[in-house]
Chain A
Amino acid sequence: MLTLDKLQQTGKKATRDGFGAGLKAAGDKHDNIIMLTADLRGSMKSEDFINAYPDRFIQCGISEANMMGVAAGLATAGKIPMTTTFANFSTGRVYDQIRQSIAYSDKNVKICASHAGLTLGEDGATHQILEDIGMMRMLPGMTVINPCDYNQTKAAVQAIAEHHGPVYLRFGRPSWPIFIPEGQKFEIGKALHLNEGSDVSIFATGHLVWYAVEAARQLEKEGISVDLINIHTIKPLDEAAVIASAKKTGAVVSCEEHNKYGGLGSAIAECLSKNQPTRQEFVATDDTFGESGTAEQLLDKYGLGIKDIVAAAKKVVAAKRS
């Protein structure tokens, strides 16, 4: 059982580095894994796989729509294709290709998407997709995963290689604290309990899990007991874990690097409204595009900082007690 004390930063690396490491490990085990990219092999940190298995790497050029179709074809013939590009070009640009050739066609394609959310940083809003979880979650049969650090991303890649069916795996660009213990089991669809608590439930995904850990430490110091849960798999949602925690605390905060519409917060609200109606605060972007800046500046400006999680928790706890 994890607790806040055990969640110490052991280093710093990007989740995309975790993808690269996980891809190589999965590729060692499964000789039918094929990596595709649309002119972003360097950004995907996948050189170890490409160097080890050059014949299992397909460079598609800047043609994302074609890449999705080629992946669907490879899956038809029994391969496990993993498409790679930025999250924006992995989803919004190719939604119809994913919908028809992959999801509706029941293809075992893994859509691996880096540079998701505000933390992409300086490139600005054209590249900072904040709608991708919503889009992918809407597709019937699609599994949606947003791991939180290097270790969890590495484990997630290996898990999706074992899973049959289309998957959207979302990760990011910046160097980010590593705090999930190496070797921690990754189960698709199973929430990871990070701390037991009784006053407020904080459900977090992606980069914001680290911020939620830091926020929980502050809240605990102030006497607010936090039930902290990492929802790495947004679909299928671990409804039992969400309901049990909300029932215990009666106060919920969701944290994600995504628009408040359609993402983790929405998924939790949908679950709780029919099973365990609970007051909820949404730490998410407020129906807006991003802009240029550093990752930390952007998270702060758009209300996704540690202080914002603390404030949201206090607000929802106060509402419960009033």
Chain B
Amino acid sequence: MSDIPKLERIASQVRRDIIRQVHGCQSGHPGGSLGNADLLTALYFDVMKHDPSFSMEGKGEDVFFLSNGHISPVFYSVLARSGYFPVEELATFRQINSRVQGHPTTHEGLPGIRISSGSLGQGVSVACGVAIAKRMDKDDRTVFVLTGDGEQQEGQIWEAALFAPHNKLENLVLIIDDNGQQIDGPTKEVLEVESFTEKYTAFGWDIMKMDGNNMAETVKVLKEAAAKRNGKPTCIVMKTEMGQGVDFMVGTHKWHGKAPSDEQTVTALDQLEETLGDYPDSAPSNN
């Protein structure tokens, strides 16, 4: 049985980590990170079977790929809070000589990262490759991949959308963060990509929907998707609010890639309970 209140408390700390990472270097993407804090908390603290001692191959584990790499602060927070690397390292986010790069990368050897992402549209293809490898290896665990909704404008996404059902990748779960926002404004104004339900259904995917800012619903739907084996990949259309959890950031694209000031940071942190202990302000020494 999932402990929803406990997961919500972890998500609160993850949101604090997001604000503090972006504030610390005055750079990064808080909006989408806050919106996905519940999803990544649910995956890493409840739904996925995974091992923080980390092996790249992830045999016998559920694996997660972040295709929209710009929401790295939420990914780094859940990885650190799950034990993949010291939480103190979050203070080095986007700073020189850090493993905690602006966008996630394997290149600096940060445990928990299996692919570099940032240039959009590539993660679903990678997840397809891992899903095929798991099937070849008779490893019945599930591959999760998250993309943004704006990211669905990339052509490679639709190559992968054709590929996964054709290859019956029933162990693949694609989650689309349908927050309706991208960097230049509302997605429906920049380049309409809806309806995901109709498009992915037409491509041969199973569709599920969830409110990605409702922890109980998120956990329930993710578990159903992970367990499902019916010859089809699953696409979860997940409604979230960009900036969820901080009143002056919620529901607008304006905080997509903008750091809060000192004053705004105090205001934001006042709204987010410290539940697991903040990491120290200063970055650990590299010496």
**A contacts, CB < 8 Å to B:** 34, 55-56, 58, 60-61, 63, 65-79, 81, 96-97, 99-101, 104-106
Contact = CB atoms under 8 A, between A and B. Distances in A.
A55 B116 contact: no
Chain B's interface: helix, strand, loop or mixed, by majority?
A: helix
A65 B136 CA distance: 22
Nearest to B123: A69
Given A65-B122, A73-B129, A76-B56, 14 more contacts: A34-B136, A60-B163, A65-B121, A67-B125, A69-B123, A69-B125, A70-B132, A72-B129, A77-B57, A78-B57, A101-B115, A101-B126, A104-B107, A105-B105
B153 interface: no
Contacts of A34: 136
A4 B162 CA distance: 53
A139 B35 CA distance: 35
Interface string B82-118: 0000000000000000000000011100000011111
A97 B128 CA distance: 15
Contacts of B126: 69-70, 72-73, 76, 101
A321 B136 CA distance: 64
26 contacts: A55-B136, A56-B136, A58-B167, A63-B159, A65-B156, A66-B162, A69-B124, A69-B125, A69-B129, A69-B160, A70-B132, A72-B129, A73-B115, A73-B125, A73-B129, A74-B133, A75-B129, A76-B57, A76-B58, A77-B134, A78-B56, A79-B133, A97-B156, A100-B116, A100-B122, A106-B106
Given A70-B125, A70-B126, A58 B132 contact: yes
Nearest to B125: A69
Interface string B198-233: 000000000000000000000000000000000000
B263 interface: no
B155 interface: yes
Nearest to B156: A65
Contact of A66 (B105, B116, B160): B160
Nearest to A104: B116
A100 B14 CA distance: 27
B26 interface: no
B272 interface: no
Contact of A104 (B59, B105, B131, B133): B105
Contacts of A75: 129
B173 interface: no
A101 B124 CA distance: 11
A73 B128 contact: yes
B127 interface: yes
A269 to B, nearest CB: 29
Contact of B107 (A60, A66, A67, A106): A106
B283 interface: no
A74 B129 contact: yes
B116 A101 contact: yes
A74 B116 contact: no
Most buried by B among A56, A58, A69, A96: A69
